[in-house]
Structure 1
């Protein structure tokens, strides 16, 4: 007589292959799911990390780039679809690390222009960094970003130090929003050039708590790359010997600035080049008046062979 418990044995044996098949299917589905996520990560740029490369840059005047961080060369599909030729610029993600070493004998403030370039060496964008109060023998490190670039811009692959301006830290123009101990802030703008005529504005701000009076013209000293005096240039009161197209010269008169008020003066010249050696003046030491603290600005006067620089008197700014 058959034993009753032998009847379920067959179903049990039949279920075993079914369980193994289900388990294998589950593993296959899990593996397929993982592969899809990985492919999506690579295609979407989520797993791509920026590359950082060391830069063998000789630099200029103690400033050199030490490394360059570049984003992935392939933008993600999301970015391609969301950025069109007419859209706003987006941050490039390009960052240059640099170091500034003061090889001189006094504390200096540096203004450095970095240029970011494409594979063919063409400039894509320039950025300026200011490094203040670097003492003799000290090395200061920092970073500068290439910033926003239009989608049509070439890909940045390299960078270098383009220009360096350095002035004694005690004579550097105060950074925006900072008032010197004197209560007077002196600065120069980027100027304007048209048909060979150059005009740079000097700005005098009373950021202190007392009235400040100037009269006549700012006092100037022209300096070369080594911050030594430049000879052979005549500094003129007014601009009438340089041009008459900018209007008649105003007569110098006392200008009293209350706290919060400002005044402007102007440097006017032409870059005409004829016979002789052109003269370039990278630095100008400015005193608002006799006895005032000097401030050295960097207007880069390309005076050609004219040998003349016109100076307009201080005039209160309307606000």
Structure 2
């Protein structure tokens, strides 16, 4: 009987000691994957820039394009291209008929000469024998222009053209070309032009 009581007392004491000790709580378990993922946004498509639209083909089925030019010691040389932007063949023969206009589209007083002999002794690209040129859709022809930028009389205003008004062939609708580089005639009053020639490139 004495041993049983002693055992009970010892058990109680040990239990009390254990209860009185500060036992840290067990750490909480780290949250596991929930199985739900945030949606990944789809890449945003970058819109392509709009394609440049070609200018509308004029009524006559051809358009003019300013070509290469050169200037040296007051002598000016320029090239004008005519492109068949229509759907039918286009025939040229001889020289174009041209008018030169200023920025306000008022006519510039100028004598248009066939060939460049009266402007320069050396070849300028405005030479050649007139011939028939047939352009299929998409093909081009051109003519050369030559003039001098000289002011020989201070009492005469210098002339400067910024627009070419061209009749490609007899009876055809006129076509206008706004120039990036002016036809600066000074007060010479002369402009030489060549015949139509098939474009080589």
1:190 Cα deviation after fit: 4.7
1:228 Cα deviation after fit: 1.3
Matched residue, 2:191: 309
2:112 maps to 1:230: no
2:64·2:176 contact (CA, 8 Å) conserved in 1?
no
Gaps of 5+ in 1: 13-129, 133-173
Where relative contact order (Cα < 8 A, 6+ residues apart) is larger, the structure is 2
1:8 maps to which of 18, 22, 26: 22
Please state whether the residue corresponding to 1:240 is helix, strand or coil: coil
Matched residue, 1:245: 122
| Structure 1 segment 139-178 matched on structure 2, within 5 A | 175=55
Matched residue, 1:218: 96
1:215·1:252 contact (CA, 8 Å) conserved in 2?
yes
1:262 Cα deviation after fit: 2.2
Distance 2:104 2:71 in 1: 26
Q: Which has the larger radius of gyration?
A: 2
Distance 1:283 1:317 in 2: 22
Distance 2:95 2:145 in 1: 10
2:167 maps to 1:287: yes
| Structure 1 segment 118-137 matched on structure 2, within 5 A | none
2:61 maps to 1:183: yes
Whose helix fraction is larger, Structure 1's or Structure 2's? 1
Please state whether the residue corresponding to 2:104 is helix, strand or coil: coil
Please state whether the residue corresponding to 2:195 is helix, strand or coil: strand
What TM-score do you get using the length of structure 2 for normalisation? 0.66
How many matched pairs?
A: 156
2:81·2:140 contact (CA, 8 Å) conserved in 1?
yes
Please state whether the residue corresponding to 1:302 is helix, strand or coil: strand
Distance 2:58 2:176 in 1: 14
Deviations 1:168-210 (A, max 9, x none): xxxxxx73xx544533222222522233221221112223333
Matched residue, 2:150: 272
What TM-score do you get using the length of structure 1 for normalisation? 0.43
Distance 2:84 2:103 in 1: 30
Distance 1:202 1:314 in 2: 10
2:73 maps to 1:195: yes
1:285 Cα deviation after fit: 0.9
1:268 Cα deviation after fit: 1.0
| Structure 1 segment 36-75 matched on structure 2, within 5 A | none
Q: Which runs of 4+ in 1 moved over 4 A?
A: none
1:274 Cα deviation after fit: 2.8
Please state whether the residue corresponding to 1:313 is helix, strand or coil: coil
1:230 Cα deviation after fit: 1.7
Deviations 1:111-143 (A, max 9, x none): xxxxxxxxxxxxxxxxxxx9x9xxxxxxxxxxx
